[in-house]
Structure 1
Amino acid sequence: MIQLTESALNAVRTAIAGSTQPVEGLRVMVEAGGCAGFKYMMGLVAAPEPDDLVAEQDGVKVFIDPASGPVIAGTTIDFVVSLEGSGFTFDNPQATSSCSCGKSFG
């Protein structure tokens, strides 16, 4: 399905530990939009939606909306820190194009 790098796993664990609300995992999905056609959406959630695909990696639960599953199959999510800033990046083998910000794809 999808993979999180060790850096991404650590970032998600840190976010979960710092949350003031109960968190069960990370929800990942795509929506129409962005400059290349689709944009990645992700956030911490208290529980999966009833039809979400559920994966667990090193104790971190990842919930994937079923419509997004085929579009992001095989994606590796990383968390990078650079001079320009820090954030999550997506290496999606399904993408035929992407924008320069790395947050949307086609």
Structure 2
Amino acid sequence: MINLTDSALNAVQTAISSAADPVDGLRIMVEAGGCAGYQYKMGLVREASPDDTVIERSGVKVFIDNTSHELLTGTTIDYVVAVQGSGFTFDNPNAQSSCSCGKSFG
């Protein structure tokens, strides 16, 4: 299971409500790349893909493909507002290492 904090959930709800086109939910995935081996990718999408796991919380749907789901199981996603910049953070128990920016892991 993947957990979104209340702050992350509010950020996603705001993004969905202000999207120019109709949006069904948030896609979270992992791709090869980044400075640590894998990188997190997120984006609003119109619909789930056939192989997606769908997680719903407070009316927000999160879509995760099967490959990414294995790498993200147990992850907590937060949205942090800080002086250095605001954005999503990932607390991933499956990560053996991570880069200093927190956007990739190995």
Relative to the length of structure 2, the TM-score reads 0.99
Aligned length: 106
Structure 1 residue 57: deviation in Å? Answer: 1.1
RMSD, aligned α-carbons: 0.5
Deviations 1:38-84 (A, max 9, x none): 00001000001111011101111000011111101000000000000
Equivalent residue number for residue 14 of structure 2:
14
Equivalent residue number for residue 36 of structure 2:
36
Quick one: distance in 2 between partners of 1:59 and 1:102? 27
Relative to the length of structure 1, the TM-score reads 0.99
Equivalent residue letter for 1:34:
G
Quick one: distance in 2 between partners of 1:93 and 1:82? 23
Structure 1 residue 88: deviation in Å? Answer: 0.3
Quick one: distance in 2 between partners of 1:83 and 1:55? 31
Q: Which runs of 5+ in 1 are unaligned?
A: none
Quick one: distance in 2 between partners of 1:23 and 1:73? 24
1:1-106 aligned at under 5 Å gives the runs 1-106=1-106
Q: Which runs of 5+ in 2 are unaligned?
A: none
Quick one: distance in 2 between partners of 1:59 and 1:103? 26
Query: Secondary structure of the residue that 2:81 maps to in structure 1?
Result: strand
Equivalent residue letter for 1:25:
G
